[in-house]
Structure formats: structure tokens, C-alpha cells
Amino acid sequence: MESNTTLQGSTDAAHAHEESGSQAVKVQLKLREMILAGELKAGARITELAMVEKLGVSRTPIRAALIRLEQEGLLQQMSSGGFAIRKFSQADVADAIELRGTVEGLAARLAAERGAPAEALAQAHRCLDQIDRLLSQSVLNEEAFSNYVRLNAQFHTLLGGLSDSSIVQRELERLGSLPFASPSGFVGVQANTLKARDMLIVAQDQHRQVIEAITQREGARAESVMREHSRLAQRNLREAVRHTLKMPGVHLILPTT
């Protein structure tokens, strides 16, 4: 009886942790969108309590989201407490995503040339199978899109690991601290338009293609797929910007210069 109780307690704790993580992802999506739209302006100070009141979410996922956005280079922590919105341009974002595509292309080529372990490839396939199940839904609600963001980040982490290069993996982690270069750097509107949804499906096909190229030991093809994957990410974000511009009262934080 005691072991059953312990097991149930562990299961409940795991579910609670997963739910808290999912809630933090939802907050990240919303805050990125507010930054992109200029609702949270460059230089503005934000605090946990202010976001709790604004978003109607508990303090724990707010704190996790703010820390994550600082790691992504969208916020900077202030000595007086709270965070400030960093200033960056469209060119900064485009360069950061392009650079990530270059390094991920190198990771994919190295994985193909060196030969990736069968179990690591199987793990990547299992991750992609989960993404397929999400994208098979007619509509991605908030929960489903949060799960997509989490699984997409997991796949890109696995891809970096396939390179068998600690240097490449370290550079990919560093690139994740540049504005919108993280594979998790989505905003909510990227799930809510037909064009954006189509891009997610194309991106998933590219995921499949790069794993196939790695398996077939086709280094040049694997690298090319990931370079194109970064260009798709740029187009997806530009579409999100255009969609956001249609909202009344929007002033983007992303100037062209």
C-alpha cells in the first residue's frame, strides 16, 4: 500500500511539473508576442507581479518565462529588480536566425559524415512522431501549440547532439541567447493563421528530410536542408510580423534599421 501511495505521489508530482512547464511556455509565447508587437516597449521595466496581474497567471510560470526570455536575449535583468526589454532590429533577428541555420547545417553535416548512433536517430524519430500527431489536428489550440514548441526545441537539441561535437553544441546553446534565434522562439500568431500553419507542416517535412539525409550519410544534403530550414523560420517570423501589424494600435519593436 505504501509503495502504491508513493508511486501515485510521484505521478502527481510529475503531472504538476509538466503542467507548470506547459503554463510557462504559454506565458513565453504571449510575452514574445507582446514584445514583437511593441506592447512591451524597448527599455520598459517589467516585474513578475505586473505580469501576474496582466496575464492572470500564477507567479511560478511567470518567473520561469521571464528567466527563459532573458536567456533568449529578449530581456535583461536589472540590478534594481525585475527585467527590461532589450532593443533589437529586424536585421538583428534575421542575422541571428541565419547564423543558427549555418551552425545547425554544420551539425547535420557532421552527423551524416561521422555516422549517428541508431538509438539517437530512433529518439529523433520518436520526437517527430509526436509532432506529427500534433500537426494532424485540424486546429492547434493553445495547449497543443505549447506542446509543439516544446517538442520542436527537443528535436533541435537532439539534432545538435547527433553532431558528436561539443564545440558545435556549445555554439548552438550560445546562439539560443540571440533574439528569436532559439528554436523555441515562437509567438502565438504562428499557430493561428493558415499560412503559418502551412509553414509548420513544411518545417516538419524538413525535420524528416534532415534525419533521412543523416541516416543515408548524405552530408551536403543534410546541411542544405537545415540552411533552408532557417530561411523558412525567417519567413514564418516575417509573416507573424505582418499579421501583428494588422492589429489596431500596434507599434513593432523591430525597426528596419
Q: Residue 27: name the closest of 70, 4, 61, 78 by CA.
A: 61
**Which residue pairs from 37-40 have beta carbons closer than 8 angstroms and sit at least 24 positions apart in sequence?**
37/244, 37/247, 37/250, 37/251, 37/252, 37/253, 38/250, 38/251, 38/252, 38/253, 39/250, 40/85, 40/253
Cα Rg of the chain, angstroms: 19
Q: What are the residue ranges spanned by the domains of the chain?
A: 2-85, 90-245
Measured CA to CA, the distance from residue 172 to residue 182 in angstroms comes to 9
CATH architecture of 2-85: Orthogonal Bundle (1.10)
Measured CA to CA, the distance from residue 182 to residue 175 in angstroms comes to 7
Question: From first to last of its 257 residues, what are the pLDDT tens digits of the chain?
Answer: 555 554 444 444 444 444 556 788 888 888 888 887 778 888 889 889 989 988 888 999 999 999 999 999 899 999 888 899 998 888 888 999 999 999 999 999 999 999 999 999 999 999 999 999 999 988 888 888 889 999 999 999 999 999 999 999 999 999 989 988 998 888 766 666 777 788 899 999 999 999 999 999 999 999 999 999 999 998 888 877 776 655 444 444 444 43
CATH architecture of 90-245: Up-down Bundle (1.20)
Q: 3-state DSSP call for residue 45?
A: strand
Residues paired with 45 in a beta bridge: 84
Burial class (CB in 10 A: 0-12, 13-18, 19+), 172: buried
Task: Identify the pLDDT of residue 192.
Answer: 65
Task: Identify the pLDDT of residue 189.
Answer: 67
Contact in structure between 158 and 126 (CB atoms under 8 Å): no
Q: 3-state DSSP call for residue 75?
A: strand
Quote the pTM value: 0.80
Measured CA to CA, the distance from residue 162 to residue 118 in angstroms comes to 10
The three three-digit cell numbers of residue 36, written as one number: 514583437
The three three-digit cell numbers of residue 83, written as one number: 527585467
Task: Identify the pLDDT of residue 250.
Answer: 43
